[in-house]
Every structure is written in C-alpha cells, then in structure tokens.
Amino acid sequence: MNWEAKLAPYAQVVEELKVKLKGIRKQYEYESRHSPIEFITGRVKPVSSILEKAEKRNIPLDQLDQEIQDIAGLRVVCQFVDDIYEVVEMIRERNDFTIIDERDYVSRKKESGYRSYHLIIEYPVETISGMKNLLAEIQIRTLAMNFWATNEHSLNYKYKDKIPADIKNRLQRAAEAAFKLDEEMSKIKHEVQEAQRIFHRK
Ligand code: 0O2
Ligand code: 0O2
C-alpha cells in the first residue's frame, strides 16, 4: 500500500480541524472570556499502530477507513470538567461535520481508570479525486485526565499492554486522585477564572 498517499487526506483533516478548534480558543481570547479549550493537539495514527490495530481486530486492509475510527485524531484539553461538556455542545452545533458516535468516559470511567469524552465524526475533505467523508476521533479531557492518560499510555507501551498488578493498582489510585483534583478545582473555578481575567487585562 502507498501509505503516504493513503494517509494524506487524513493529515489534511487533522490540520483543518486543528485550525478550526484553535479558532474557537482565539475567539474567546479576543472577547476576554474564559476559553473552555486550553490547547489542541492532533496526529495521524502511525502506520505501525494502524497495522497493529488491524491485526488485533482482524480488520481487512480494504476496510481500514470504516473500521479504524482514529486514523485522524484530535485532542482538546480543558482546564475544568464543565469545559468538556461546553466543548461537546459547541461541536454538536457545528454544520461542517457530523457526529456519528460518542462515548462519555468522563462520567463513566473505563476499567483502566481512563476518563475522556470521545466523539467520532465524519468530516468532508476535498481531495484531488473529489470529496471524501473521513472518520476522525476527537478526545476531550481535562489537564488532569490528560496527565493520567499520557502516563498510562507510556506504561502500556513499555509493558506491551501487560502492566504488572502493583503498577496497575497505583494507576487506579492515581486516576482517583486526578478525579479528586478535578473536583476540587471545579469548586474554585470562579476564583481561578476571575484571577485569569485580571491577569489577562494586565
Ligand atoms: P499554539 O497553541 O499555537 O502554541 P503544530 O503543527 O505546531 O500546530 P504539533 O507539532 O502537532 O502542532 O504540536 P504538538 O507537539 O502535538 O503540540 C500541540 C500543541 O499543544 C502545542 O502548541 C503545544 O505547545 C501544546 N501543548 C502541549 N502540552 C501543553 C500544556 O500542557 N499546556 C498548554 N497550554 N499547551 C500544551 P502548538 O501546536 O504549537 O500551538
Ligand atoms: P493511540 O493512538 O495509541 O492512543 P476499545 O479499544 O475497544 O475499548 P476503541 O474503539 O479503540 O475501543 O475506542 P475507545 O475505547 O473509545 O478508545 C480509543 C482511544 O481512546 C485509544 O486509542 C486511546 O487513545 C484512548 N484510550 C482508550 N482507553 C484508554 C486507556 O485505558 N488508557 C489510555 N491511556 N488511553 C485510552 P488507541 O487505539 O489506543 O490509539
């Protein structure tokens, strides 16, 4: 397979969505309002990870576009838990793409301790051979959830998905601690935002 050609439209999707989501943040900044978005990252799934996932789930190579939903991946990181739902609502109201699936792992964490809100969208992208509707995954999470997920992801990589029991236990506790941190911060959200507004004006 010519992977570069295959993945080029996905790279286009990632870049376009990054511009659009960063645009939301900028608009809040111009209006000196608290942005529900702290930062955005995006990536095209590396070919090795695509092949690994395809093999693990018995996905034929001609069905990658439909079956692997996160070839184009966007991550929206927020300060507060409430911000996650604000971002979801904002995305829901857009007319430039369609949400085809959503998973709320924020209110219902995964067994690992993972929290995040996932949206799978269908995004129309123009290519030299016409318009293509491609799937993309948008993960929306707080800074604390992101910190946890990043570290857990590294450990999964290191231990090839077989994290030793004692480390798994610690990760579960760390997930609870991250959740508590989010809860505590939510309680002083207005104080923090007020301070940030004053700082921003200066
Ligand atoms: P900004 O907002 O203009 O500074 P790019 O092609 O540069 O847009 P790339 O190379 O994919 O994006 O960047 P990467 O390494 O994935 O990081 C994405 C963005 O997230 C970067 O900003 C980082 O500065 C930002 N980032 C990562 N961690 C944090 C964090 O903890 N806090 C904040 N506030 N930002 C973080 P950009 O893309 O340069 O955009
Ligand atoms: P990458 O690029 O390595 O992050 P399933 O695997 O069947 O549970 P599915 O269809 O993969 O479900 O979707 P799901 O569960 O919504 O998760 C998709 C992505 O969410 C994963 O992509 C991760 O990025 C993230 N994720 C899900 N669960 C966890 C978790 O327990 N820990 C961490 N750190 N991330 C998680 P990939 O394929 O792993 O790709």
> What interhelical angle do 81-92 and 165-187 show, nearest 10?
80
Q: Which residue's CA lies nearest to atom 12 of ligand 1? A: 41
* Count of other CB atoms within 10 angstroms of residue 92: 10
Judged on CB neighbours under 10 Å (0-12, 13-18, 19+), 43 is: middle
Q: How far apart are CA 83 and CA 91, in angstroms?
A: 12
38-90, pLDDT tens digit by residue?
Answer: 999 999 999 999 999 999 999 999 999 999 999 999 999 999 999 999 999 99
pLDDT for residue 193 is more than 90: no
Find the 42 Cα to ligand 1 centroid distance in Å. 9
pLDDT for residue 202 is more than 80: no
147: CB partners within 8 A, 6+ apart: 178
Q: Which residue's CA lies nearest to atom 6 of ligand 2? A: 53
β-pair type (39-44, 72-78): antiparallel
Indicate whether residue 41 lines ligand 1 (CB < 6 A). Answer: yes
Structure tokens at 173: 């506790």
Q: Which residues pair with 102 in a beta bridge?
A: 119
Q: Which residue's CA lies nearest to atom 28 of ligand 1? A: 39
> What ranges do the domains of the chain cover?
3-201
113-166, pLDDT tens digit by residue?
Answer: 999 999 999 999 999 889 999 999 999 999 999 999 999 999 998 998 889 999
Fold of 3-201: Beta Polymerase; domain 2 (3.30.460)
